[in-house]
């Protein structure tokens, strides 16, 4: 049985995170980035998320990073301070194993512990697996924007799912 661990990401994880992420960049519409991300750029992104007081987590199987999840601020205006957008990616072959749900639950727990109120997941369409994951976790579809991205020679829709966390500010 493999040893599974979830821990905060560090800059040294950046190259492995790029190895997971860049195939999505190059060959899918799951992300709207169009150029591969360097390890240095990814390390900067990890540091920026942590500097903003938000979690960036990695899921390791037998010591190897096979997935990651993090949150960023939803919008810059102060009244949005309790809302974040979530992101989760798994290495090829790790989908459908329960690892994504386990990782996402850890992220949601960490966000709740920080007193955040709303988590928003944007999903390029179609993406049956990601939609199913979000809905299993209690997210509700709240918006659908048609043809807002153009990648790989076609227009892509993006839909949003929202989860109101059980903890958070009441004022």
Q: pLDDT tens, 107-144?
A: 999 999 999 999 999 999 999 999 999 999 999 999 99
In the chain the domains, ranked by start, together with CATH numbers, are 4-164 (3.40.630.30)
Nearest residue to 63 via CA among 120, 146, 7: 7
What is the pLDDT, as a whole number, of residue 94?
A: 74
Q: pLDDT tens, 4-40?
A: 999 999 999 999 999 999 999 999 999 999 999 999 9
Above 50 in pLDDT, residue 171? Answer: no
Q: pLDDT tens, 93-108?
A: 777 778 899 999 999 9
Mean pLDDT, rounded, of the chain? 94
């Amino acid at each position: 049985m493999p040893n599974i661990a979830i821990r905060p990401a560090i800059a040294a994880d950046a190259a492995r995170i790029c190895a997971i992420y860049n195939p999505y960049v190059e060959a899918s519409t799951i992300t709207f980035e169009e150029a591969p991300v360097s390890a240095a750029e990814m390390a900067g992104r990890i540091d920026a998320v942590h500097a903003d007081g938000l979690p960036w987590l990695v899921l390791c199987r037998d010591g190897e990073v096979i997935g990651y999840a993090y949150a960023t601020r939803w919008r810059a205006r102060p009244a949005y301070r309790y809302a974040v957008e979530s992101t989760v990616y798994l290495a090829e072959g790790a989908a459908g194993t329960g690892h994504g749900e386990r990782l996402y639950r850890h992220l949601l727990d960490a966000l709740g512990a920080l007193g955040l109120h709303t988590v928003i997941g944007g999903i390029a369409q179609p993406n049956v697996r990601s939609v199913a994951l979000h809905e299993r976790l209690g997210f509700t579809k709240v918006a659908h924007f048609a043809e807002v991205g153009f990648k790989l020679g076609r227009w892509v829709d993006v839909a949003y799912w929202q989860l109101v966390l059980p903890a958070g500010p009441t004022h």
